């Protein structure tokens, strides 16, 4: 354990000499290879001389940070760019002039003076000029670029106060400089300028819209909105790690605040904790609640976010549900951090009801598709199961069947399935009249089950298109797959011969039928079930976006 020096520089209008002395002392520690936690406008940084491999190695040790995760060099202005970066494009100066000092980190080609330790061996380097008077003064005084990751232990929420830093770093580093609570509260926006168009690697304190207003459209890295598949490498190595994670698992609920509050209310149990906007806290009386701020004030939400995540570490909850702002402005960074804390476990709540009709032949992937619907918090209505329940319970339907097929119910009222089967499978018209009866009762029953509730529903029916059930759906979806793949899947799944698998497929309607009659088609040619689920997730996400767009216009 070392003694961590604490410098209070919250009030910089105070004793000028004292302030200058502390700034000089912090700069000296940095020049001598020590570690100093520094305030910035985004989050606290754990600083070291970015040109000193030994000092930089200490950062990784103290944080417990994976070796492959590079650091940001903090500089005091654009005039330093050419010292540490090669081939600085004019665009970098355009951005720096407008947004520095401020929460924008630029990825540029690395210059020869920057050691491998800082960039984790990459041929690029991240640079930013933080907007905090104390830290800018320390950087100038030290005359060095300061490599600084966020000052938390790796995996924990970033620190937005010097107290948070002490919680994680006391006794491990030479010095903590207290510059007051961070004004922005989420880390900087990271923009890769080594590609065209520039690419957003991490949303942060500078909203994308502001960057685009200045330089036109930028690309958004996939890691911003989703967890990456196995083997996929994000361009900002840090984006692949589970971050900001409280000990209890987090579920993020997106959608309009009223809808997400309702959805959380439906889900919370006795040991659940809730992260919500101020206005909704009273709905969760009796639960452990930490509030993000007013639903309309993203600046406050950003400031409080990490504090709330930290607070949950000392709460005895088993799971945490979190409301989440939309993606506009600072919302993109806030929701990205919440989703990362949740390992991208996200449920969509909505004030609208969306009903997807799902159909398709055996072995194509309908079951996986429906699993994804459930995973998104949706409800699946299995029409075959509904039909069988109704055969037991619906007196009306039973009577109607009995009229046309006398004797299929025995004296005790039990359906003789074998007999009914023999009746209908020998003659087409008989099957048609049974179907007519069943559909007549089934469609209203499914409608009843859909209720007037909001949310996502899937109606799973092999006879979706013939039954009239398609009418209650916003979209009908055919899940199809190449025949050879279906054969292999059915053989493996049901442990049957190839011949029998082919027979099962030919007994059903061809893909062509579903393809031409449904509103849309999802073809499952994926190598693995997980790959297909990933495609299904993206397919559903896009579809929901379109449907909600249509519906919300319809409502205006
Ligand atoms: O606001 C911030 O940026 C804060 C304050 C202290 O400045 N710093 C910060 O650092 O958030 P850190 O280390 O927690 O996050 C830096 C991110 C990581 O995801 C890292 O992978 C990425 O920047 N990064 C660093 N150098 C990179 C490079 N050359 N190419 C791509 N990504 C890079
Ligand atoms: Mg960090």
Centroid of chain to Cα 331:
13
* Of 478, 443, 458, the residue nearest 544 (C-alpha): 458
| Model pLDDT for residues 123-133, shown as the tens digit of each residue | 999 999 999 99
Residue 183 CB–ligand 1 contact under 6 Å: no
556 C-alpha to ligand 1 centroid (Å) = 42
Q: Which ligand is nearest to the CA of 236?
A: 1
Residue 554 pLDDT > 70: no
The reported pLDDT for the residue numbered 547 is 87
**pLDDT, mean of residues 178-191:** 98
* For range 68-91, the mean pLDDT: 97
Please tell me whether residue 526 adopts helix, strand or coil conformation. Answer: coil
Please tell me whether the peptide bond between 197 and the residue prior to it is cis, using omega within 30 degrees of 0: yes
pLDDT band at 556 (very low <50, low <70, confident <90, very high): very low
CA of 245 to the centre of ligand 2 (A): 12
How does 225-236 read in b/e, with b if 16+ C-beta sit within 10 Å? bebeeeeeebbb
Of 66, 83, 71, 25, residue with least CA distance to 47: 71
Q: How far apart are CA 131 and CA 41, in angstroms?
A: 6
- The DSSP H or E segment spanning 149 is none
Q: How many CB atoms sit inside 10 A of residue 499's CB? A: 10
Give the tokens for residue 89. Answer: 């494009």
Q: How far apart are CA 518 and CA 465, in angstroms?
A: 8
pLDDT of residue 439: 96
Give the model's pLDDT for residue 348.
83
- pLDDT tens for 96-106 read 999 999 999 99
Q: Which ligand is nearest to the CA of 114?
A: 1
pLDDT at 555: 47
Residue 466, judged by CB atoms within 10 A of its CB (0-12, 13-18, 19+), counts as middle
The mean pLDDT value of the chain amounts to 93
Q: Which ligand is nearest to the CA of 43?
A: 1
Give the mean pLDDT of 51-69: 96
Percent of the chain clearing pLDDT 90 (strictly above): 79
* DSSP-derived secondary structure letter, 123: S
Q: Which long-range contacts (CB under 8 A, 24 or more apart) does 28-31 make?
A: 28/142, 29/5, 29/174, 29/175, 30/55, 30/138, 30/142, 30/144, 30/146, 31/142, 31/143, 31/144
Can you give the pLDDT at residue 305? 98
Ligand 1 in reach of 131 Cβ (< 6 A): no
Report how far ligand 2's centroid is from the alpha carbon of 533 (Å): 30
For the residues of 320-378, what is the DSSP string, one character each?
A: EEEE---STTTHHHHHHHHHHHTTT-EEE--SSEEEEEEE--TTSSHHHHHHHHHHTT-
More confident residue, 229 or 426: 426
Task: Look at residues 508, 499, 496, 501 and name the one whose alpha carbon lies nearest to residue 486.
Answer: 501
CA of 236 to the centre of ligand 1 (A): 8
Tokens of 99: 């947004």
pLDDT of residue 427: 85
- The residue whose CA has the least distance to atom 7 of ligand 1 is 45
CA 127 to the chain's CA centroid: 26
CB-CB neighbours of 11 under 10 Å: 9
Residues 6+ apart with CB under 8 A from 536: 365, 368, 369, 372, 522
Max mean pLDDT range (25-39, 384-398, 541-555)? 25-39
For residue 149, the CA-to-ligand 1 centroid distance in Å is 6
What pLDDT is recorded for position 241? 72
Mean pLDDT in residue range 460-475: 94
Rounded distance, CA 501 to CA 524, Å?
Answer: 18
Query: Ligand 1: which of 69, 72, 111 to mutate, judged by most atoms within 8 Å of the beta carbon?
Result: 72
pLDDT at 48 over 80: yes
Average pLDDT over every residue of 357-379: 91
The confidence score (pLDDT) of residue 303 equals 98
Using the atom order of ligand 1, give the atom closest to the CA of residue 188.
Answer: 1
Taking alpha carbons only, the member of 37, 330, 59 closest to residue 189 is: 330
* Residue of minimum CA distance from atom 21 in ligand 1: 238
For 188-209, write each residue's pLDDT tens digit. 999 999 999 999 999 999 999 9
Separation of alpha carbons 144 and 394, rounded Å: 80
N- to C-terminal Cα separation, the chain: 63
- CA-proximal residue: ligand 1, atom 3 (nearest): 188
Closest approach atom of ligand 1 to CA 202: 19
C-beta neighbour count of 183 within 10 angstroms: 18
Interatomic CA distance for residues 196 and 193, integer angstroms: 7
377 Cα–ligand 1 center, Å: 33
Residue pointed to by tokens 């929701």: 335
C-alpha–C-alpha distance, residues 402 and 301, integer Å: 62
What's the mean pLDDT in 363-387?
92
Omega before 101 cis (within 30°)? yes
pLDDT tops 60 at residue 222: yes
**What is the secondary structure of 202-235 as a DSSP string?**
E--SS-HHHHHHHH---EE-GGGTSPPPTT---S
CA 106 – CA 102 distance, rounded (Å): 11
Q: Over the stretch 230-254, which tens digit does the pLDDT of each residue have? A: 677 778 887 777 678 788 999 999 9
pLDDT of res. 426:
81
pLDDT, mean of residues 514-526: 95
Is residue 165 in contact with ligand 1, taking CB distance under 6 Å? no
The share of the chain scoring above pLDDT 70, in percent, equals 98
Which ligand number lies closest to the CA of residue 187? Answer: 1
Across 162-186, average pLDDT:
98
User: Separation of 69 CA from ligand 1 center, angstroms?
Assistant: 8
How far, in Å, CA of 178 to CA of 38, rounded? 7
Q: How far is the CA of 155 from the centre of ligand 1 (A)?
A: 14
Q: What letter does residue 409 receive in the DSSP assignment?
A: B
Q: Using 50, 70 and 90 to split pLDDT, how confident is the model at 553?
A: low
Mean pLDDT of 47-57: 98
Q: Please answer whether residues 503 and 363 qualify as being in contact, where contact means their C-beta atoms are separated by less than 8 angstroms.
A: no
**Helix/strand/coil (H, E, C) string of 64-82?**
CCCCCCCCEEECCCHHHHH
Among 117, 190, 191, 205, name the best residue to mutate to test ligand 1's pocket (greatest count of ligand atoms within 8 A of Cβ): 190
Distance between alpha carbon 507 and the CA centroid of its chain, in Å? 41
pLDDT in tens, 481-505: 999 999 999 999 999 999 999 999 9
pLDDT at 552: 65
Using the atom order of ligand 1, give the atom closest to the CA of residue 235.
Answer: 31
- Ligand 1: centre distance to CA 126 (Å): 7
d(CA 519, CA 509): 17
CB 349 within 8 A of CB 377: yes
Assess whether the C-beta atom of 185 lies below 6 angstroms from ligand 1: no
Check if 124 has its Cβ closer than 6 Å to any atom of ligand 1.
yes
* CB of 107 shorter than 6 A to ligand 1: yes
Dump pLDDT digits (tens) for 251-307.
Answer: 999 988 888 998 899 899 999 999 999 999 999 999 999 999 999 999 999 999 999
Residue of the nearest CA to atom 22 in ligand 1? 236
What letter does residue 253 receive in the DSSP assignment? E
Q: Can you tell me whether residue 307 is helix, strand or coil? A: helix
pLDDT at position 4: 97
């Amino acid at each position: 354990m070392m003694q961590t020096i604490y410098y209070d520089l919250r009030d910089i209008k105070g004793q000028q000499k004292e302030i200058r002395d502390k700034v000089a002392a912090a700069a000296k520690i940095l020049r001598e290879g020590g570690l100093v936690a520094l305030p910035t406008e985004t989050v606290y940084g754990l600083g070291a001389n970015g040109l000193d491999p030994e000092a930089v190695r200490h950062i990784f040790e103290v944080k417990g940070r994976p070796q492959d995760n590079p650091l940001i060099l903090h500089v005091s202005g654009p005039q330093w760019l050419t010292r540490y970066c090669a081939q600085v494009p004019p665009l970098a100066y355009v951005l720096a002039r407008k947004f520095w000092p401020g929460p924008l980190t630029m990825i540029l080609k690395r210059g020869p003076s920057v050691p491998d330790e800082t960039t984790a061996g990459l041929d690029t380097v991240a640079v930013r000029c933080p907007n905090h008077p104390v830290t800018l003064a320390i950087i100038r005084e030290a005359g060095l670029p300061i490599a600084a990751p966020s000052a938390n232990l790796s995996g924990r929420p970033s620190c937005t106060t010097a107290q948070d830093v002490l919680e994680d770093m006391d006794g491990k580093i030479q010095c903590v400089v207290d510059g007051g609570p961070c004004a922005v509260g989420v880390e900087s926006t990271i923009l890769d300028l080594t590609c065209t168009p520039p690419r957003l690697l991490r949303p942060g304190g500078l909203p994308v819209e502001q960057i685009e207003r200045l330089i036109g459209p930028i690309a958004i890295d996939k890691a911003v909105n989703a967890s990456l598949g196995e083997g996929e490498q994000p361009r900002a190595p840090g984006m692949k790690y589970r971050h900001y994670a409280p000990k209890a698992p987090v579920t993020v609920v997106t959608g309009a605040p009223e809808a997400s509050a309702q959805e959380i209310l439906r889900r919370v149990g006795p040991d659940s904790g809730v992260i919500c906007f101020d206005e909704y806290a009273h709905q969760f009386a009796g639960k452990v609640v930490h509030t993000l701020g007013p639903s309309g004030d993203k600046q406050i939400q950003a400031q409080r976010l990490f504090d709330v995540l930290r607070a949950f570490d000392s709460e005895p909850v088993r799971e945490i549900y979190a409301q989440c702002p939309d993606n506009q402005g600072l919302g993109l960074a806030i929701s990205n951090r919440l989703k990362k804390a949740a390992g991208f476990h996200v449920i969509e709540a909505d004030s609208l009801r969306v009903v997807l009709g799902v159909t398709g032949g055996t072995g194509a992937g309908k079951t996986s598709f429906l699993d994804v619907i459930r995973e998104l918090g949706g409800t699946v209505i299995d029409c075959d199961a509904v039909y069988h329940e109704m055969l037991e319970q619906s007196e009306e339907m039973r009577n109607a069947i009995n009229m046309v097929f006398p004797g299929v119910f025995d004296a005790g009222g039990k359906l003789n399935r074998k007999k009914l089967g023999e009746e209908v499978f020998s003659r087409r018209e008989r099957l048609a009249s049974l179907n007519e009866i069943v559909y007549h009762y089934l469609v209203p029953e499914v409608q009843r089950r859909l209720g007037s509730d909001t949310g996502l529903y899937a109606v799973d029916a092999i006879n979706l298109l013939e039954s009239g059930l398609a009418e209650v759906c916003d979209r009908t979806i055919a899940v199809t797959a190449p025949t050879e793949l279906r054969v292999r899947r059915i053989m493996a799944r049901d442990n049957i011969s190839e011949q029998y698998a082919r027979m099962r497929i030919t007994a059903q309607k061809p893909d062509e039928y579903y393809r031409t009659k449904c509103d849309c088609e999802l073809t499952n040619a994926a190598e693995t079930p997980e790959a297909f689920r990933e495609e299904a997730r993206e397919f559903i996400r896009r579809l929901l976006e379109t449907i909600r767009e249509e519906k919300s216009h319809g409502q205006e």
